[in-house]
Amino acid sequence: MKAKCCSKQIKRIVCQISSISYYLCFDYIFLISRLLKGRSMPGKVLLTRRSNVLDHSKLQEPSLNYGRSFSFNDADTSDHIAKALEEEVESLSNPNNNANSNKLKSSTSNVENLSKGAQKSVMGARATDSTRVMKFTKVLSGTTVILEKLHELAWSGVPPYMRPDVWRLLLGYAPSNSDRREGVLRRKRLEYLDCASQYYDIPDTERSEDEINMLRQIAVDCPRTVPDVSFFQQEQVQKSLERILYTWAIRHPASGYVQGINDLVTPFLVVFLSEYLDGSVDNWSISDLSPDKISNIEADCYWCLSNLLEGMQDHYTFAQPGIQRLVFKLKEVVRRIDEPVSRHVEEQGLEFLQFAFRWFNCLLIREIPFHLISRLWDTYLAEGDALPDFLVYIFASFLLTWSDELLKLDFQELVMFLQHLPTNNWTHQELEMVLSRAFMWHSMFKSSPRHLAS
């Protein structure tokens, strides 16, 4: 009887989702059913362990970096959906799972909410690259950019040559009104130049002891920034990083410079340099640019960094309470989604703070290949003020990529594994999978905050 009732509810959900489009609906449901296979719904202990790990090699390669990478065989999709949904219904209605009727009601509501965001979650599965470019062009060419629409488009990736303009707009550095944009950027760039001259371009005799120590620490950290990318080892690049970081730290005394902030400048530096330099980052030379262009790039990096960190101020103040709070939430989310992994980590005596602190501090820049960072940051910046909360779900999805492997490791092996994650060969496929799972889980949990209460 319960299974029959559940089947009716599932059919009703499918009908509601179908208004999006026939193919988008089935791709989306198939994706969710595969990802949730063997995973718990919010507030529910794991139903069954997953035995069929999703084979990334069977997914299509995206034709461009900014496209979604999900594309399934339509001929077989309906059979997979029917079977997957039937198994989920049977699991949810099985009394041996200790699930009450409210659990199914909660999951049903979550899927209904997810249907509203389905197009964002699977963007690129059906849309062509030219269509996405046209959408961005239409939004950006208006006299006033509709930021809500730009955020929606950017979430699924920004065409590389559009990133500088899009990022400035997403962060509120460039105004949405095109008539004011050039004048505002000119004024802000001059303001940065004045600040750098006032605070950085002075002798040490005019600095306090604390300022000297801070500048010395920045000078030590700059050569360590993204060491795998030779571009960042150029003397002029490190000088620009140092000037940006020191100027920012002086103007933000509540936190000052904290190790890890140096990593956060690098995506901005690469994106804004791409307006002037072509080809691979490894072949760039910043010395090819005029001092004026370098100053403009530094200014853009400075203001975008400032606006990004404005919403995460307590991440870098004393004791970094914001990060500690998010690490606790991450632990709770992982416990709700994959209880066996959570229990195993706890039994081994490994604290989430020991490995996840760096993730929040550097926003995964040290964890994944640098050529994927810009794509990841498209989603970061598209989240806007909601980014800190969404990071919890991205990092949960990132961690649980290796859920099966983690269960086999003892404490020492866990520490070594999490410090040297096997992401060197990652492509956009793996990153898109992480982001899509994060979007799905966040959509499910955000309307059920009690699930995150201890």
Structure tokens at 223: 């050569």
Largest CA distance in the chain: 82
Does any domain span residue 344? yes
Decide if 332 is inside a domain: yes
Q: Token pair of 412, please?
A: 């020492």
Question: What single string gives the DSSP state of each residue in 383-448?
Answer: HGGGHHHHHHHHHHHHHGGGHHHHTT--HHHHHHHHHS-S-TT--HHHHHHHHHHHHHHHHHHTT-
Distance CA 184, CA 164 (A): 16
The verdict on 193 and 84 lying in the same domain is no
Q: Is residue 293 part of a domain?
A: yes
Last residue of one domain, picked from the residues 263, 284, 310: 310
| 172 and 248 together in one domain | yes
pLDDT greater than 80 at residue 156: yes
Neighbours of 325 (CB within 10 A): 15
How many domains is the chain built from?
Answer: 3
With a cut of 70, say whether residue 58 has pLDDT above it. Answer: no
pLDDT of amino acid 450: 63
Domain that holds residue 331: 321-452
Query: 258 lies in a domain?
Result: yes
Last residue of a domain, one of 290, 310, 330: 310
Closest CA to 39 of 313, 403, 376: 403
**pLDDT grade, residue 452 (50/70/90)?**
low
Would you state the pLDDT for residue 241? 98
Residue 45 has pLDDT above 50, yes or no: no
Percent of the chain with pLDDT over 90: 67
Distance CA 349, CA 47 (A): 25
Q: What is the pTM (predicted TM-score) of this model? A: 0.74
- Looking at the structure, tell me whether residues 170 and 304 fall in a common domain: yes
- % residues pLDDT > 70 (the chain): 70
pLDDT at position 80 is 40
Cβ atoms of residues 385 and 164 within 8 Å: no
User: Of residues 449 and 8, which shows the higher confidence score?
Assistant: 449
Among the candidates 106, 121, 136, a domain finishes at 121
In a domain, 152, yes or no: no
Does residue 391 lie in a domain region?
Answer: yes
403 belongs to a structural domain: yes
Query: 270 lies in a domain?
Result: yes
One domain, residues 58 and 83: yes
Same domain? 279 vs 328: no
With 0-12 CB in 10 A as exposed, 13-18 as middle and 19+ as buried, what is 141?
Answer: exposed
Specify whether 166 is located in the same domain as 305: yes
Note whether 66 and 132 are within 8 A (CB).
Answer: yes
Q: Which tokens in the block code for residue 201?
A: 């371009």
Q: Domain of 421: which CATH number?
A: 1.10.472.80
Same domain, 100 and 241: no
Minimum mean pLDDT among 111-115, 131-135, 150-154, 275-279: which range?
111-115
Please check the confidence at residue 90 and state whether its pLDDT lies above 50.
no
- Shared domain check, 194 and 102: no
CATH number at residue 234: 1.10.8.270
| Token pair in block for residue 88 | 């989920």
Q: Which of 431, 402, 404, 441 is nearest to 419 (CA)?
A: 402
pLDDT of 213 strictly over 90: yes
One domain, residues 360 and 290: no
Same domain, 242 and 360: no
What's the count of helices (H) and strands (E) in the chain, helices before strands?
Answer: 21, 0
**What's the pLDDT tens digit per position in 390-440?**
999 999 999 999 999 999 999 999 999 999 999 999 999 999 999 999 999
| Residues 330 and 384 both lie in one domain | yes
Please check whether residues 164 and 294 belong to one and the same domain.
yes
